[in-house]
């Protein structure tokens, strides 16, 4: 093969030298970085101007694309949809004909004349629908935000790639008002100030297109805190439009969490720097509506509601940032060829979402009990919630088939179950490994072994990895995978809990103020546009003690009027309430106003919970200890 490449190269060099009278060889697109620019000074109706200058082509035509799918999202986003005014310009500055092949692809004939491409990129936060994930709009942590004092720059939304130049280097210039704070996970290589001093252009460098997609940025009215956790430098950038939260107020939470996570992971992680970009949404029409985060190799973008209390933001940040950081193990390190050779336009999907999302999510719950951030009861509660939520999805669907076909129905709408059942699959593997090794090995040691075998630069073969894992571990894992991961038999969790002296029992269990046993205790009346408590409210000790009755309409919560439009936001806040919070809820009971002004207390209901068996043997207790405390 080497010789063939050589001879082709020789021909190319010969041809290039024939051409050398016209232009010099070193401006060829294949030889120089693609020069790109984003202009945040001259925003045009909520759209940012972008320029792509690739150098000179020698081919007849070129194809330029924005991603149809980006890594880590498992949905079609079609970033080309948000591009307006696409223009190709020749060296004389004339517009050239462009063929738009599909939503994300443009072809330009007579490519030898092509000087540069210009277009405008739209905001995606303001078109996002409630709920985010699973709707064909970019989930806000992977989206683009353009507003006067905040820019969320997921660069894959701005910058695309030429089919023929996928491995080219990129230079990126971003011009922005001089007073903007700039926070970037991408390497800065320089900056310049305009003559009037009002604009600063910062230059960045990306070794290849992958690095453009893997390094988000945030610009604007931000707060940035940098601190060291062991040998990792953490850079926390926070945008809170009404200054409700700050990087300083979140620093302690992140520090504590990252330190616990690093201790838990041990020698597995090597990144010297990790960036956390937190965008807090004020819940208005044009703000982000999809809450959660997206992982990158050395950073994450997180989106939450600004109205969350400090305590619940801290709790959610701990969970979500831990999840994203654990992605360093998988898929960022351990992953299949589908991910390694990712095609942004026409990707194939791996069968192993149980690992990439499931095991990652399980880690984010397990490490908290392992490191003492949670006690055993809190851990059991979180696992029980996952069991209950997972039952809302198809429990008899093969996880590998779902994963491989995640872009289409009926699989697409089951995707969210990777965070529920996927995590539980991780738990079952963990327990089986503890059982097989007298407590010595678990899911973390398995992932470490896989990291050593594969890793960032060496993908595994999608169809072989389960057999390899079984070979590396115990026959019981083989049965588990073929029945419950590849196969479609629902998992009987009690079989696994039995091994560690636990069981799912009925009793008085702690619950929350909105969801009980996985189901909401409120309902909506679209005709009257109201949200009211359902019959189930009688089973919720807090509301029942306050005298709330079924069909009581919720008028206001802490001064905010409840409407159909903001119901998800307000109910989301109530879901995040903790005991000890002062609340004021106004209800309408058949025309009579009822005011509940009190401090929340722990709330209970009758339901299923994970309980320690009284007759658990010492062997079971020892295995439980090994499982929960590593």
Minimum distance from residue 360 beta carbon to Zn ion (Å): 5
Helices 376-390 & 421-436 angle (0-180, nearest 10): 130
Shortest spacing between CB 379 and Zn ion, in angstroms: 20
Between 294 and 502, name the residue whose CB sits nearer to Zn ion: 294
Contact status, residue 233 vs residue 254, Cβ threshold 8 Å: no
Q: How far is the CB of 109 from Zn ion (least distance, A)?
A: 41
Of 325 and 454, CB closest to Zn ion: 325
| CA 150/CA 204 separation, integer angstroms | 19
Asked if 90 and 113 count as a contact pair (C-beta separation under 8 A), the reply is yes
| CA pair distance 549, 522, nearest whole angstrom | 11
Q: CB within 8 A of 236, min separation 6: which ones?
A: 224, 225, 226, 227, 247, 250, 251, 254, 276, 278
Binding-site residue total for Zn ion (CB under 5 A)? 1
C-beta of 56 vs 386, nearer to Zn ion: 386
Beta bridge partners of 532: 523, 553
Alpha-carbon distance of 537 to 605, in angstroms, equals 10
The nearer residue to Zn ion, 106 or 354, going by C-beta atoms, is 354
Contacts of 270 (CB under 8 A, 6+ apart): none
Name which of 108 and 278 has its Cβ closer to Zn ion: 278
- With the C-alpha atoms ordered 288, 290, 292, 294, is the resulting torsion angle positive or negative? negative
Q: Which is nearer to Zn ion, 165 or 301 (CB)?
A: 301
With helix as H, strand as E and coil as C, how does 79-130 read?
HHHHEEEEEEEECCCCEECCEEEECCEEEEECHHHEEEEEEEEECCHHHCCC
With both helix axes pointing from N to C terminus, report the angle between 443-453 and 465-472 in degrees, rounded to the nearest 10: 120
User: Coil, helix or strand for 125?
Assistant: helix
Site string for Zn ion, 339-358 (x = CB under 5 A): ------------------x-
Q: Yes or no: say if 503 and 434 are a contact pair by the CB < 8 Å rule.
A: no
**Rounded to the nearest 5°, which phi and psi values hold at 412?**
-55, -45
We find the least distance from the C-beta atom of residue 568 to Zn ion, in angstroms, to be: 22
Q: How far is the CB of 74 from Zn ion (least distance, A)?
A: 9
Burial of 180 (0-12, 13-18, 19+ CB in 10 A): buried
CA distance 473 to 53: 52
DSSP 108: E
Cβ 97 to Zn ion, closest distance in Å? 42
Asked if residues 69 and 344 have their Cβ atoms less than 8 Å apart, the reply is yes
Residue nearest Zn ion, Cβ-based? 357
Nearest to Zn ion of 357, 370 (CB atom): 357
Of the two residues 71 and 473, which places its CB atom closer to Zn ion in the complex? 71
Find the binding residues for Zn ion in span 354-383 (CB under 5 A). 357
**Nearest approach, Cβ of 514 to Zn ion (angstroms)?**
24
DSSP H/E element including 280? strand 273-281
Residue 60 φ then ψ, to 5°: -70, -45
Pairing between β-strand 232-239 and β-strand 273-281 as defined by DSSP bridges: parallel
Query: How far apart are CB 452 and Zn ion at their closest, in Å?
Result: 22
Between residues 306 and 357, which has the closer beta carbon with respect to Zn ion? 357
Nearer to Zn ion, 331 or 572 (CB): 331
Q: Which two tokens stand for residue 258?
A: 């990252």
Q: Nearest distance from residue 364's CB to Zn ion, in Å?
A: 9
- Alpha-carbon span 344 to 160, nearest angstrom: 10
Q: Which residues pair with 506 in a beta bridge?
A: 608
Q: Restricting to residues 268-307, which ones interact with Zn ion according to CB under 5 A? A: none
CB nearer to Zn ion: give 328 or 548.
328
CB of 127 to Zn ion, least distance (A): 23
CB of 253 to Zn ion, least distance (A): 20
**Closest distance to Zn ion from the beta carbon of 326 (Å):** 8
Cβ nearer to Zn ion, comparing 211 with 357: 357
Interface with Zn ion by CB under 5 A: which residues?
Answer: 357
């Amino acid at each position: 093969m080497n010789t063939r490449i050589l001879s082709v190269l020789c021909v190319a060099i010969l041809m290039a030298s024939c051409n050398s009278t016209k232009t010099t060889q070193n401006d060829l697109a294949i030889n120089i970085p693609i020069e790109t620019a984003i202009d945040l000074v001259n925003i045009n109706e909520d759209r940012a101007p972008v320029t792509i200058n690739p150098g000179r082509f020698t081919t007849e035509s070129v194809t330029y694309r924005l991603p149809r799918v980006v890594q880590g999202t498992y949905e079609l986003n079609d970033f080309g949809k948000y591009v307006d005014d696409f223009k190709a310009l020749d060296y004389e500055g004339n517009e050239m004909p462009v063929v738009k092949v599909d939503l994300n692809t443009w072809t330009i004939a007579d490519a030898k004349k092509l000087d540069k491409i210009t277009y405008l990129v739209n905001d995606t936060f303001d078109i996002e629908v409630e709920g985010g994930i699973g709707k064909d709009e970019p989930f806000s942590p992977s989206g683009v935000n353009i507003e006067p004092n905040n820019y969320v720059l997921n660069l894959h939304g701005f910058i695309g790639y030429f089919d023929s130049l996928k491995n080219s280097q990129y230079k990126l210039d971003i011009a922005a008002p001089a007073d903007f704070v700039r926070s970037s996970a991408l390497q800065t290589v320089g900056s310049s100030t305009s003559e009037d001093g009002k604009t600063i252009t910062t230059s960045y460098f990306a070794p290849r297109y992958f690095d453009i997609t893997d390094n988000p940025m945030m610009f604007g009215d931000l707060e940035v805190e940098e601190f060291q956790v062991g040998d990792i430098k953490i850079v926390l950038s926070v945008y809170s439009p009404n200054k409700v939260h700050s990087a300083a107020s979140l620093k302690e939470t992140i520090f504590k969490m990252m330190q616990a996570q690093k201790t838990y992971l041990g020698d597995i992680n090597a990144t010297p720097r990790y960036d956390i970009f937190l965008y807090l949404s004020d819940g208005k029409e044009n703000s982000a509506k999809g809450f959660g985060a997206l992982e990158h190799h050395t950073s994450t973008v997180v989106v939450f509601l600004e109205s969350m209390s400090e305590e619940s933001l801290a709790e959610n940040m701990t969970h979500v940032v831990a999840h994203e950081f654990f992605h360093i193990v998988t898929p960022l390190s351990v992953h299949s060829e589908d991910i390694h050779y990712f095609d942004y336009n026409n990707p194939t999907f791996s069968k192993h979402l149980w690992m990439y999302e499931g095991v990652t999510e399980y880690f984010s719950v397990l490490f908290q009990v392992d490191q003492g951030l949670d006690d055993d009861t809190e851990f059991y509660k979180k696992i029980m919630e996952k069991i209950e939520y997972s039952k809302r999805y198809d429990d008899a669907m093969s996880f590998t088939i779902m994963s491989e076909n995640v872009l289409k129905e009926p699989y697409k709408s089951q995707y969210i179950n990777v965070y529920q059942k996927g995590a539980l699959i991780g738990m079952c593997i963990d327990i089986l490994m503890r059982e097989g090794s007298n407590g010595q090995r678990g899911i973390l040691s398995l992932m470490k072994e896989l990291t050593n075998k594969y890793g960032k630069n060496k993908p595994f073969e999608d169809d072989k990895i389960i057999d390899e894992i079984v070979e590396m571990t115990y026959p019981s894992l083989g049965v588990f995978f073929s029945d419950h991961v590849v196969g479609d038999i629902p998992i009987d969790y009690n079989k696994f809990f039995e091994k560690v002296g636990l069981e799912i029992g009925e009793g008085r269990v702690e619950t929350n103020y909105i969801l009980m046993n996985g189901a909401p205790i409120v309902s909506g009346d679209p005709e009257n546009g109201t949200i009211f408590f359902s019959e189930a409210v009688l089973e919720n000790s807090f509301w029942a003690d306050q005298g709330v009755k079924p069909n009581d309409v919720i008028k206001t919560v802490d001064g905010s009027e409840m409407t159909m439009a903001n119901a998800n936001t307000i109910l989301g806040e109530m879901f995040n309430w903790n005991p000890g919070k002062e609340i004021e809820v106004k209800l309408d009971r058949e025309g009579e106003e009822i005011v509940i002004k009190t401090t929340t207390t722990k709330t209970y209901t009758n339901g299923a919970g994970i309980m320690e068996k009284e007759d658990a043997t010492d062997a079971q207790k020892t295995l439980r200890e090994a499982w929960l405390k590593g």
